[in-house]
């Protein structure tokens, strides 16, 4: 982005709802991928924690070959307490790599844990477990972390 300091990154998140472990919207990113690919941002957080987000094919259009753009794949749910297996996360990343290079990807939870006063149906310990999973998976995947 023009005239921004080197250490400032502009990011945004496509939210599909996150109220008390529920959601409002579902469906893939196909219909909006081309539009999202034209937006000027450094990082885009996308929800991919369940089948309701569709497949990874649209991320190729969203990334649009921009070497400075990073897509953050929310492949760890913040809605439910069950901890994902690291092998499952690695498989999801392998699927995403068919469309976008690793240097332009990142992982996160699909949304925050308390987007509303009610939060989601997880304990604080379960939330920390998910964040530790994000970090440990990222460290193994992106060695420079």
CA–CA distances in Å: residue 50 to residues 4, 39, 77: 35, 25, 8
Domains present along the chain, CATH in parentheses: 11-141 (3.20.20.210)
In this structure, what token pair is assigned to residue 68? 């400075």
Question: Highest mean pLDDT: which of 16-20, 85-89, 114-118, 120-124?
Answer: 85-89
Q: Among 47, 15, 11, which Cα is nearest to 116's?
A: 15
pTM: 0.84
The pLDDT score that the predictor gives to residue 27 is 67
Does the structure show a pLDDT above 60 at 116?
no
In this structure, what token pair is assigned to residue 85? 């297996």
Mean pLDDT of 36-40: 89
Q: Are 106 and 138 spatial neighbours (Cβ–Cβ below 8 Å)?
A: yes
Q: Are 109 and 126 spatial neighbours (Cβ–Cβ below 8 Å)?
A: no
Q: Return phi, psi of residue 17, to 5°.
A: 105, 140
Residue 28, class by beta-carbon neighbours within 10 Å (0-12 exposed, 13-18 middle, 19+ buried)? middle
């Amino acid at each position: 982005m023009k005239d921004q300091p080197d250490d400032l990154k502009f990011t945004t998140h496509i939210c599909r709802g996150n109220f008390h472990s529920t959601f409002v919207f579902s469906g893939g990113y196909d219909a909006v991928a081309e539009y999202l690919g034209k937006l000027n941002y450094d990082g885009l957080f996308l929800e991919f924690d369940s089948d309701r987000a569709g497949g990874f094919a649209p991320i190729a259009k969203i990334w649009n070959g921009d070497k400075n753009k990073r897509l953050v794949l929310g492949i760890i749910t913040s809605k439910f307490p069950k901890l994902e297996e690291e092998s499952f996360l690695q498989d999801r990343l392998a699927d995403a790599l068919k469309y976008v290079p690793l240097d332009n990807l990142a992982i996160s939870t699909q949304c925050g844990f308390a987007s509303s006063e009610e939060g989601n149906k997880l304990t604080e310990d379960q939330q920390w477990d998910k964040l530790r999973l994000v970090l440990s998976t990222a460290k193994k995947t992106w060695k420079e972390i």
